[in-house]
Structure 1
Amino acid sequence: MKMLDKRTAGDLTKLLIFIVVTTLATGILVVTIGNITFGGSKEYKAEFVDATGVVKGDDIRIAGVKVGVVKNVEIVDRTRAMVTFTVQDETPLSKATHAAIRYRNLVGQRYISLDNQIGDTATLGEGDTIPVSQTSPALDLTVLFNGFKPLFQALSPEDINKLSYEIVQVFQGEGGTLEGLLAHTASVTGTLADRDQLIGSLVDNLNEVLDHIGDRDDQLSELITTFRTFVAGLKGDRQAILGSLDQISQLSVQTADLVSGIRDPFVEDVKQLNALAGNLDRGKGELDRALQVLPIKLNKVGRTAAYGSWFNFYLCEFHAKVRLTAGQSIPVDYKTGSSRCDLG
């Protein structure tokens, strides 16, 4: 039992040592990465004409090193922005200190860069304000990149990212140099030069299209005028068109009722028509002979009615039987001898 207790106590000691070491290492890592200091700090203010994008917690940097954080951003005089920030005690500011809002990255995050310029070297008191004349707002990327939009349309996303980063760095006065910007611009123009033939072909085709359009200027103007008149007519007749659509809808409903009413008789007619077709198929020989003889018969009938809108009938022969009262019958055969009978 005592051996078990000693073993448990040893494991517990190792666990506690591991937890302490891990906690210390994690704390050191957090302090190093977050540039966290445990010294005192002083609070200052800076007035900007535009502090768009600056929020509480953004960095305050000198020469790229974090020395403080933004505490608050508020509006003053309805036209200016007052930024309250803190810096470390060992980082005194002078009355010549210049504050500028910089882009931390292309996502839009900001930080405030402090720079001690030539001028009054008197120390800035805690709580004092850097005047608006010694502050600079962030670069307006929207206006800047809109000017480069025609160029960006011919670039790949990777080239755009590189060039954009160089432009921001150069115009903010840090990091990249004008030489680097020109190098990337030369790369871009080289890419455009490689596509010179394609661009030239595109321009030629566009000129040809514009020439054809120019040759048909009158027809195009007439088409536009006619189309505008057509649209105006549709607008004027929209009530009539909508009314006709309502009538068409009602007609469709009534037609549907009509079809549903005659459905059963129609199906029966189709069945009888099928039977009729079968009968005609079985007697197609007789029907064929009748159709062949029909013209001859119609010709004779036509000659009979050739003298007017009536028919002349002639009695050529007469055959009958006369039945007597005694049950006997006497046959009667009579021929008229008319000359018309010889025409048949």
Structure 2
Amino acid sequence: MKRAGLLVKVLAFVTATVVMTGALVVVFGGFRFEATNTYEAVFDDISGMKTASEVRAAGVDVGRVESTDRLPDNTILVTFSVGTKIPLTTGSTAVIRYKNLVGDRYLQLGPGPGAPLPAGGKIPKTQTRPALDLDALYNGFTPLFQGLQPDQVNRLSSSLIAVLQGQGSAVDSLLSDLGSVTTTLADRRTLISGVVDQLNTVLETLVQRAPELDDTIVNLQTLVSGLAQDREQLGGDLAGIDDLTTTVGDLLARERPGLQGNVAQLSRFSQVITSDQAALDNLIRRLPGYYVSLGRIGANQSAFQFYVCGVQLRLTTPAGKITTPFINSGNVQRC
């Protein structure tokens, strides 16, 4: 009897242990015994999402991820299953969220308008969103750290590390450093406000000038493409310009003394012209009439016919004396 009672107890213990172990395997293994439907969702990125990850709706576990596959356009196709009692529509959304600090993810389903989504249906990429990129989040603090002093950044970083390592006593130090950071930002609020206002003005101007900006970019692209096509010719032209510059420099250096004299005489000439302004104005007014008479003389042929009756010259002798000799053609009837 004793041995029989002991055997019954052992069998009962083993049975209970097997049942409990099976229950734990079912619970933590995500096994489901209800009827399910399979759906698909397209994502740009599923970093951290694995097969058998949870699928939740309104925070409740309703299914699991069956598989993940890369498509030819570098998007990711996630196949998941949910219970038949979970209604999905053509407007339903799918978002990848963080499950814990270790980095595990789960698929969050959201409601949406539209007709019911049939089993095997697909949620398009426009209705999905990948998990938050923590690298981008951390990089977003870079401008903040650039505006702080190095010792402030070091103290803040040390406090954050201490808190993440479980040192609760470091919370006070963290709050103090955060207060210092906010004080620094408050002291610079005028500068920050001005920068934001100027940036807003720039963006408004760009929006107003969007057509002109588009044309400028297109024309710049055309110009750059043309320069790229003619780069060999441009290289030769630049070499020629260099030679021309050298030649002109040598010419100016050689002719500089003569140019200096010409410039000085040009100054004297301008003074003479200015001093006899009335005579110059009179000559300019009479020139059109002279040109008309001259045109009449050569109207019959491409030549001018003159009969010189006499010529009077004004000469200056080497001694500086002015003489005006007159040469005539004699006693000619036409003169």
Coarse TM-score class (shorter-chain normalised) = 0.3 to 0.5
Q: Which protein is bigger by CA-based radius of gyration?
A: 1
TM-score under structure 2 normalisation? 0.44
